[in-house]
Amino acid sequence: MSMKNLKDELLKDYDMSLNYNGVNGERLAERLDQISRIGLTTDFGSSRLGLSDGEKQAKALVKNWMLEAGLEVVEDGAGNVFGKLAGTLDYQTIMSGSHVDSVPNGGHFDGPLGVLSALEVVEAWKDTNVKPSKSFEVAIFTDEEGARFNGGFTGSGAVTGQLDYDSQFKRTDGDGKTFEQVLEEYGSNAVHFKQAKRDFSDVELFVEVHIEQGKRLEKANLPVGIVSGIAGPSWMELNFYGEAGHAGNTPMDDRKDALVAASEFIYKVEALPGKVSPTAVATVGKLQVKPNGVNVIPGQVTLYVDIRDIHEETRDQLIQLVSDTANEIAIKHKLKVTIDEMLRIKPVPIKKELHLKLEETFKTNNVEPLYVPSGAGHDAMIVGNLVPAAMIFVRSKNGISHNPKEWSSLNDCVRGVHVLKGFVESLMEK
């Protein structure tokens, strides 16, 4: 993104007719702009790492808006912020939100759009004198991206009690600071962090608005889409062990080249997802070669496979296929391979009745319902392990994300707010 003023750029082609039922596009643009100024990079991107001063400032800004909107605001020991609007009846709570941290030099929509969309629903009710029957809670989760500590979902994991505290407190950032040190600098401590877990029995549903970070909506020329399911990732570390040797003196028929075997494996991985599911994906994005010399036959290759699908059964089938393929290739090349699974998170299915409600809301807002799988992880994936969850995607220009060029038009963003508002209101009609 090359502009210096996000608000002006957003309003350039904004359709003012989208300002109805209390939803105000100018207000949304102004707030996206104000958050974008915190941690603004020389490339006009965002840099607000988890538990940084930038993330804290962005939360403070939104907390002020929450208070002005009449919300009761609390912040827990993990830095999660919740702004609650009490319902007129003694019903359960509908929660919506996202995060305001970013990757280094990221974009301005990933995270903040979900937080501000939820807050805009509250503002719209306030401006039209609507009192919701059920309580509505706007959430800002800490450190969703995990860029600082190579983790992610820190806040949502803490508040839902799904975090491995031992692993979390062993993490250090790029400056060598421990997680506990950073937590204390932020204004919390280990005791308060562990006390962040809350009871979700009063939460009926969590719904998150998020940019798509892909091209499906753009290709279909649709402003928003219904997330069909949230993929659960699995990360695998594979080590192919061969035999290092002199590149000149070792005949081709007497080699145990770990990189040749690893290369065959990488090539074959690409075809494996299609054997189990149309929504499955597998990626080898990182590898290390040892000894890594120009004139040395590679003796060991370490590589990592990222496997995802929105269906747990087919995701696990793909994990097995990847393992089987690695073992077959090792046997073929007379090498040894070790396989260690580093991560396995359950995919989050979205209930059929919620999909039907979303479809109705899309049609009411004159948008064709398109189902889009979420390959990326979101806070909704973590909260969705405790309560029913739903997601609404907003179109991403060229599918770009985690980049200063990340862009969603204000027209699309506001349509996302209208859909969120209509969906939440439909759930209050019980």
Asked whether 308 and 234 are in contact (CB, 8 A), the reply is yes
Pairing relation of β-strands 203-211 and 389-394? parallel
Residue 117 neighbours by CB under 8 Å, 6+ apart: 28, 96, 209, 413, 416, 417, 420
What is the distance of C-alpha 30 from the center of its chain? Answer: 24
CATH number for the 232-344 domain, one of 1.10.238.10, 3.90.1150.10, 3.30.230.70, 3.30.70.360? 3.30.70.360
32-51 tens-digit pLDDT: 999 999 999 999 999 999 99
| pLDDT the model gives residue 15 | 98
User: How much is the pTM?
Assistant: 0.88
Other C-beta atoms within 10 Å of 292: how many?
12
Q: For the chain, what is the mean pLDDT? A: 95
Per-residue pLDDT reduced to its tens digit, 403-420: 999 999 999 999 999 999
Rama region for 51: left / alpha / beta (φ>0; ψ in -120 to 50; rest): left
Q: Which residues are annotated as a binding site for Zn(2+)?
A: 99, 110, 145, 210, 402
- Angle subtended at Cα 420 by Cα 232 and Cα 224, rounded to the nearest 5 degrees: 70
Q: Is the CB of residue 153 less than 8 Å from the CB of residue 168?
A: no
Backbone φ/ψ region at 393: left (φ over 0), alpha (ψ -120 to 50), beta: beta
Distance CA 284, CA 225 (A): 28
Asked if 299 and 242 touch (Cβ cutoff 8 Å), the reply is: yes
Bind-site residues: 99, 110, 145, 210, 402
Buried b / exposed e over 195-227, threshold 16 CB at 10 Å, is ebbbebeebbbbbbbbbbbbebbbeeebbbbbb
What integer pLDDT is reported at residue 343 of this predicted model?
82
Domains 6-231+347-427 and 232-344 share a fold: no
For the chain, domain boundaries: 6-231+347-427, 232-344
- pLDDT of 3 > 60? The answer is no
Q: What percent of the chain has pLDDT over 90?
A: 93
* Mean pLDDT for the stretch of residues 9-15: 97
Domain 6-231+347-427 CATH superfamily: Zn peptidases (3.40.630.10)
